[in-house]
Chain A
């Protein structure tokens, strides 16, 4: 197994049609990195496909939700001593060739966490109007809680340094985590910055967020942001 200082964390739930291509693109994008697919209790062949594409696969015994899956990736990254991690969705909407855009600012110490934002460019897939309304509301909530504007707050295309990896291995929220993580990180003194990237529409399969779930999603996320905002910072034993 190649051992790089960069780990790509790919959460995947029933993504047998996409995950193979994602893993292959990651391995061929020219950056030395290890690819960890977190198979979140899929009922299809996600694990086999990812493994034959050359990824390390960790299979959760049941579906934990995206947050629990990504957190598993952070625990792995922490325990195996990776200095940097990038999070890339298993559905193929993030472009591996854009990884340097979010990774380099983390590597050169410009920020602890870099978020790839599709709203800072004029090109690429811009998400459905309905989802964008949600993103605007979240933007307001995050601004009120942290005084920072994060344009693409539901983006799961992110790069992290070791400090953030260690923190998130213990404090990653469980479902619909992206927005909540932003507030938690800011609250605990991490530096976050967005960088423009392009995204594609998902290649196949279905998004985990159905219209019926979106109301629950909104309420849950806004409640989580409020609670996060009111909660005192977690104690951080390690500042290295």
Chain B
């Protein structure tokens, strides 16, 4: 690996890690969702600092062309993140469903308690989603 590309790789991984960290600090990204990204940034940093590690890993995996080991690792990591997102979506969908149900039942309860005040359409008229 040339010195220049190593420098770029180191800088890139530092920028990525720092950017993630900054997002968490500004509360734009929640800690629990940042862990995988930080892990990715740190892995990249370790690989770019340690020149021989990519070659050693690819030799260990039986891959003759070292960069393709890197691609496999990147792809695997991307899939890991996507699965993580799918899990989060599923959990969110579940929570939104529960909220919708409770909201609907509460609206019914309120409409039975509350004198109408001439507002005849409430609570059937739900703002469209």
Q: Which of B101, B103, B124 contacts A57 (CB 8 A)?
A: B124
Does A228 sit within 8 A of B, measured CB to CB? no
Q: Write out the residue numbers on chain B whose beta carbons fall within 8 Å of the beta carbon of A129.
A: none
Chain A proximity mask over B91-114: 1 for CB below 8 Å, otherwise 0:
000000100110111011000100
Q: Write out the residue numbers on chain A whose beta carbons fall within 8 Å of the beta carbon of B105.
A: 58, 72, 75-76, 79
A64 pairs with B100, CB closer than 8 A: yes
Does B123 sit within 8 A of A, measured CB to CB? yes
User: Which applies to chain B's interface (DSSP): helix, strand, loop or mixed?
Assistant: helix
Q: Write out the residue numbers on chain A whose beta carbons fall within 8 Å of the beta carbon of B129.
A: 41, 61-62
Q: Write out the residue numbers on chain A whose beta carbons fall within 8 Å of the beta carbon of B127.
A: 61
Does A29 sit within 8 A of B, measured CB to CB? no
Q: Write out the residue numbers on chain A whose beta carbons fall within 8 Å of the beta carbon of B108.
A: 56-59, 76
Our count of residue pairs bridging A and B at CB distance below 8 angstroms stands at 47
Does B61 sit within 8 A of A, measured CB to CB? no
B97 pairs with A64, CB closer than 8 A: yes
Q: How far is B123's CA from A146's CA once the two chains are assembled, in angstroms?
A: 43
Does A60 sit within 8 A of B, measured CB to CB? yes
Q: How far is B104's CA from A75's CA once the two chains are assembled, in angstroms?
A: 11
Q: A72-B104, A72-B105, A75-B105 are in contact. Are A61 and B97 (CB under 8 A)?
A: no
What is the CB-to-nearest-CB distance from B127 to chain A, in angstroms, rounded to a whole number? 8
What is the CB-to-nearest-CB distance from B11 to chain A, in angstroms, rounded to a whole number? 46
Chain B proximity mask over A56-90: 1 for CB below 8 Å, otherwise 0:
11111110100010011001100100000000000
Chain B proximity mask over A39-53: 1 for CB below 8 Å, otherwise 0:
101000001100100
Interface centre among B100, B101, B105, B124 (most CB of A within 10 A): B101
B104 pairs with A58, CB closer than 8 A: yes
Does A222 sit within 8 A of B, measured CB to CB? no
Does B72 sit within 8 A of A, measured CB to CB? no
Q: How far is B90's CA from A174's CA once the two chains are assembled, in angstroms?
A: 12
Q: How many residues of A contact B (CB 8 A)?
A: 21
Q: How far is B104's CA from A51's CA once the two chains are assembled, in angstroms?
A: 15
Does B126 sit within 8 A of A, measured CB to CB? yes
Q: Write out the residue numbers on chain B whose beta carbons fall within 8 Å of the beta carbon of A48.
A: 124
What is the CB-to-nearest-CB distance from A46 to chain B, in angstroms, rounded to a whole number? 9
A68 pairs with B126, CB closer than 8 A: no
B124 pairs with A75, CB closer than 8 A: no
Q: Write out the residue numbers on chain B whose beta carbons fall within 8 Å of the beta carbon of A39.
A: 124
Interface centre among B100, B112, B123 (most CB of A within 10 A): B100
What is the CB-to-nearest-CB distance from B71 to chain A, in angstroms, rounded to a whole number? 32
What is the CB-to-nearest-CB distance from B104 to chain A, in angstroms, rounded to a whole number? 5
B101 pairs with A60, CB closer than 8 A: yes
Q: How far is B105's CA from A76's CA once the two chains are assembled, in angstroms?
A: 7
A71 pairs with B101, CB closer than 8 A: yes
B124 pairs with A72, CB closer than 8 A: no
| Residue on B nearest A68 in the bound complex, by CB | B97
Q: Which residues of B contact A (CB under 8 A)?
A: 97, 100-101, 103-105, 107-108, 112, 123-124, 126-127, 129
Give 7 A-B pairs besides A58-B104, A60-B104, A61-B103 with Cβ atoms closer than 8 angstroms.
A41-B126, A48-B124, A56-B108, A57-B108, A59-B108, A62-B100, A68-B100
25 example contacts (A-B, Cβ-Cβ < 8 A) are as follows A39-B124, A57-B124, A58-B105, A58-B108, A59-B104, A59-B107, A59-B123, A60-B101, A61-B100, A61-B103, A61-B104, A61-B126, A62-B100, A64-B100, A64-B101, A68-B100, A71-B101, A72-B101, A72-B104, A72-B105, A75-B101, A75-B105, A76-B108, A79-B105, A174-B97
